[in-house]
């Protein structure tokens, strides 16, 4: 069974407005409030693809309660660790010209909360693969993510990392099965750009040398991605345009779709990349994760090629 960990979940408030102006109030045309956080988005995407997962995370206050209720309403399994304070609300604004994100730090956790989580991992009999996504809440101990990996791996589980954290490089030597950075994160982690095939080759090698087994590198609005398994690199590009509504959950659903196809059939990179790119694109056409209505159609319009070995 796939487990997801969202250490720092969020209620996302997504609004559309007229162009923002400094020192001026703006009235929004619409606002939606959705239960989110990167690992939860992965669980929701799996659910849409007919796969059950168990969502783990720290939740607090009225927002935490709202998220856990929503998770259950969507038919997902959830094992929350309840903490003090209030789970954060993140705000995303599309003003017709740009997207803006205002991300709050989240409710702090204590070593006791961490222990509760480790205990869940230690006793989860069906834990096969743990997907650890997103930021870490305030006051987490510096070794929190390393501990999470150790507890999961001690049970023989694979670990997938999608972290907005400078810890990723440190964790690479623990041999995560897969990491999913975007182009900004890849550059921040390994210090090299990923604008050309050759630059991607260099960055991928650095990731593998550091210990990472597989890398799915997405490049946001460019509509393309690379996957490297340490032997070969594939490049996928979507051959259609989308009407962007909100790119916020697109990366998380891209990861879920890729894992859905690839995890049990590692030779099927091409199909996995097609599904991943199609899903990410479709999600960006709606607020939240949307209904995946165009995924099948879009999958047929993603070109995938293997890069020459050098």
Ligand X SMILES: O=P(O)(O)OC[C@@]1(O)O[C@H](CO)[C@@H](O)[C@@H]1O
Catalytically active residues are 252
Token pair, residue 221, equals: 């609005």
Instruction: Assess 10 for contact with ligand X (CB under 6 A).
Output: yes
Least Å from the CB of residue 90 to ligand X: 4
Q: Please provide the DSSP assignment of 17-31 as one string.
A: ESPP-TT----EEEE
Is there binding between residue 285 and ligand X (CB under 6 A)? Answer: no
Does 45 bind ligand X (CB under 6 A)? Our answer is: no
Binding residue (CB under 6 A) for ligand X from 3, 4, 5, 36: 36
Pattern 144-173, ligand X, x by CB under 6 A: --------------------x---------
Among 4, 8, 83, 279, binds ligand X (CB under 6 A): 8
Residue with smaller CB distance to ligand X, 149 or 269: 149
Angle at 81 (CA atoms; ends 79, 82), nearest 5 degrees: 125
- Beta carbon of residue 113, minimum distance to ligand X (angstroms, whole number): 17
Distance of alpha carbon 15 from the chain centroid: 21
CB of 110 to ligand X, least distance (A): 19
**Which of 58, 147, 145 minimizes the C-alpha distance to 109?**
58
92 or 298: CB nearest ligand X: 92
CA-based torsion, 47, 94, 12, 42: positive or negative: positive
Rounded CA-CA distance 107/85 in Å is: 6
Q: Is 252 in the site for ligand X (CB under 6 A)?
A: yes
Rule CB under 6 A: is residue 4 a binding residue for ligand X?
A: no
Q: Is 51 in the site for ligand X (CB under 6 A)?
A: no
How many residues does this entry show for the chain?
310
Does residue 138 contact residue 108 with C-beta atoms inside 8 Å? yes
- C-alpha angle with apex 267: 266 to 273, nearest 5 degrees? 80
Work out whether 39 is an interface residue with ligand X (CB under 6 A): no
User: Total residues contacting ligand X (rule CB under 6 A)?
Assistant: 16
Residue 14 or residue 228: which is nearer to ligand X going by CB?
14
By CB under 6 A, is residue 279 in contact with ligand X?
no
Told to check if 103 binds ligand X by CB under 6 A, we report yes
| Beta-sheet pairing, 214-218 with 224-228 | antiparallel
To the nearest whole angstrom, how small is the minimum distance from the Cβ of residue 39 to ligand X? 9
How many Å apart are CA 225 and CA 309, to the nearest integer? 17
DSSP SS3 for 294: coil
β-sheet bridge partners, residue 158: 129
Cβ proximity to ligand X, 17 vs 91, nearer residue: 91
The Cα 75–Cα 97 span in angstroms is 36
Where on the chain is the footprint of ligand X (CB under 6 A)? 8, 10, 12, 36-38, 41, 90, 103, 134-135, 164, 248-249, 251-252
């Amino acid at each position: 069974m796939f487990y997801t960990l969202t250490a720092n979940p969020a209620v996302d408030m997504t609004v559309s407005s007229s162009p923002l102006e400094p020192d001026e109030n703006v009235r929004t045309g619409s606002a939606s409030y959705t239960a989110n956080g990167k690992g939860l988005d992965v669980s929701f995407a799996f659910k849409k693809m007919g796969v059950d997962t168990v969502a783990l995370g720290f939740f607090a206050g009225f927002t935490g309660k709202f998220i856990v209720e929503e998770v259950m309403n969507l038919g997902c399994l959830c094992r929350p660790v309840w903490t003090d304070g209030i789970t954060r609300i993140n705000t995303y604004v599309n003003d017709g010209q740009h997207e803006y994100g205002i991300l709050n730090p989240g409710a702090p956790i204590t070593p006791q909360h961490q222990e509760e989580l480790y205990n869940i991992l230690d006793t989860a009999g069906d834990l096969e693969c743990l997907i650890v996504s997103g930021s870490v809440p305030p006051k987490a101990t510096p070794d929190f993510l390393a501990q999470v990996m150790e507890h999961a791996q001690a049970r023989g589980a694979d670990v997938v990392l999608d972290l907005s954290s400078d810890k990723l490089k440190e964790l690479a030597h623990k041999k995560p099965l897969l990491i999913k950075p975007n182009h900004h994160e890849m550059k921040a982690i390994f210090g090299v750009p990923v604008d050309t095939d050759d630059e991607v080759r260099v960055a991928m090698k650095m990731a593998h040398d550091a210990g990472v087994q597989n890398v799915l590198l997405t490049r946001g609005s460019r509509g393309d991605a690379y996957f490297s398994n340490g032997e070969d690199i594939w490049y996928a590009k979507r051959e259609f345009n989308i009407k962007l509504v909100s790119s916020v959950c697109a990366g998380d659903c891209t990861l879920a779709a890729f894992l859905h196809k690839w995890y049990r059939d590692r030779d099927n990179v091409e199909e996995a990349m097609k599904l991943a790119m199609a899903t990410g694109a479709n999600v960006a056409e709606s607020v939240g994760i949307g209904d995946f209505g165009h995924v099948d159609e879009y999958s047929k319009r993603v070109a995938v090629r293997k890069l020459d070995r050098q």
